[in-house]
């Protein structure tokens, strides 16, 4: 498969690129900083220079042309202000989904956040972030041309992954390692059995492959 990942230099994305390339897939990571190219190549991914905050729909669709799956894992980051929550976490996600549909990419996975809600109240930066992610999720879920899955991890940690998770429509709050998030994304990318589902993810006691298979059956 050819899989294109937006936010290709993110902590989860780099882990995912290693997993997918090791499994024999052709992986491209969309980045805007050329100094990150070497890190993507080390992870087994082809770096693609493109700024989702300024790119056109046609430019992004061109990158996605011929892809079997697309993963939106980009984010403005914890140090960014409210403006970039809108331009990246919402606007970038909307653009990437629109471009995937334009390019004929069927499988689409959006990395969201637990608690994402377009109607979330509050004026703090994190409140704006949750609204932006919620609006992006709503947009993706309205895309009839995509076999989409929205993944909402809990509190992200840098602990070593255990390969054991809880994946469900509602899990309750909890931590999850970035290693395990990447492992779940790799499993989701290889099958569209979870298409049409919005899933929460936290650490748990079920092996990743089993957790994905079980939720797909429901």
Q: d(Cα 180, Cα 163) in Å, to the nearest integer?
A: 6
Q: According to the model, what pLDDT value does residue 76 have?
A: 77
Q: Is the pLDDT of residue 47 over 90?
A: yes
Q: In this predicted model, what pLDDT tens digit does every residue of 88-143 receive, in sequence order?
A: 999 999 999 999 999 999 999 999 999 999 999 998 989 999 999 999 999 999 99
pLDDT value at residue 195: 96
Flag whether pLDDT at 193 surpasses 70.
yes
Residue 129 is among the residues annotated as catalytic for this protein: yes
Structure confidence at residue 203 (pLDDT): 98
SS (H, E, C) the chain: CEEEEECCCCHHHHHHHHHHHHCCCEEEEEECCHHHHHHHHHCCEEEEECCCCCCCHHHHHHHHCCCCEEEECCCCCCCCCHHHHHHHHHHHHHHHHHHHHHHCCCEEEEECCCCCCCCCCCCCHHHHHHHHHHHHHHHHHCCCCCEEEEEEECEEECCCCCCEEEEECCCCCCEEEHHHHHHHHHHHHCCCCCCCEEEEEEECCEEHHHHHHHHHCC
Is pLDDT of 156 > 80? yes
Long-range CB contacts (within 8 A, 24+) of 48-54: 48/4, 48/8, 52/6, 52/88, 52/91, 52/92, 52/95, 52/96, 53/84, 53/87, 53/88, 53/91, 53/92
pLDDT tens-digit readout, 59-83 = 999 999 999 999 999 987 777 778 8
pLDDT tens column, 167-182: 999 999 999 999 999 9
Whether residue 185 is predicted with pLDDT greater than 90 in this model: the reply is yes
CB distance 23 to 193 below 8 Å: no
**Residue 130 confidence (pLDDT):** 94
121, burial (CB in 10 Å: exposed 0-12, middle 13-18, buried 19+): exposed
Residue 178's pLDDT is: 98
Q: What is the pLDDT at residue 209? A: 96
Rounded Cα–Cα distance for residues 9 and 30 (Å): 8
Q: What is the reported pLDDT for 218?
A: 65
Q: Which entry of 72, 96, 108, 129 is annotated as an active-site residue?
A: 129
pLDDT by residue (tens digit) across 5-17? Answer: 999 999 999 999 9
């Amino acid at each position: 498969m050819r899989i294109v990942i937006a936010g290709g230099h993110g902590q989860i994305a780099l882990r995912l690129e290693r997993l997918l390339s090791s499994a024999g897939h052709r992986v491209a990571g969309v980045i805007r900083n050329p100094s990150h190219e070497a890190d993507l190549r080390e992870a087994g991914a082809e770096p693609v220079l493109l700024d989702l905050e300024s790119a056109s729909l046609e430019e992004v669709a061109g990158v996605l042309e011929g892809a079997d799956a697309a993963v939106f894992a980009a984010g403005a980051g914890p140090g960014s202000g409210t403006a970039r929550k809108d331009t990246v976490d919402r606007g970038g996600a909307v653009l990437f989904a629109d471009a995937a549909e334009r390019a004929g990419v069927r499988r689409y996975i959006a990395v969201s956040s637990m608690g994402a809600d377009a109607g979330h109240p509050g004026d703090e930066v994190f409140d704006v972030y949750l609204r932006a992610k919620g609006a992006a999720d709503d947009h993706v879920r309205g895309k009839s041309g995509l076999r989409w899955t929205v993944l909402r991890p809990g509190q992200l940690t840098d602990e070593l992954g255990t390969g054991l998770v809880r994946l469900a429509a509602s899990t309750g709050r909890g931590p999850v390692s970035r290693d395990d998030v990447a492992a779940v994304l790799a499993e989701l990318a290889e099958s569209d059995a979870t298409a049409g589902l919005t899933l929460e993810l936290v650490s748990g006691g079920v092996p990743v492959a089993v957790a994905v298979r079980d939720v797909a059956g429901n």
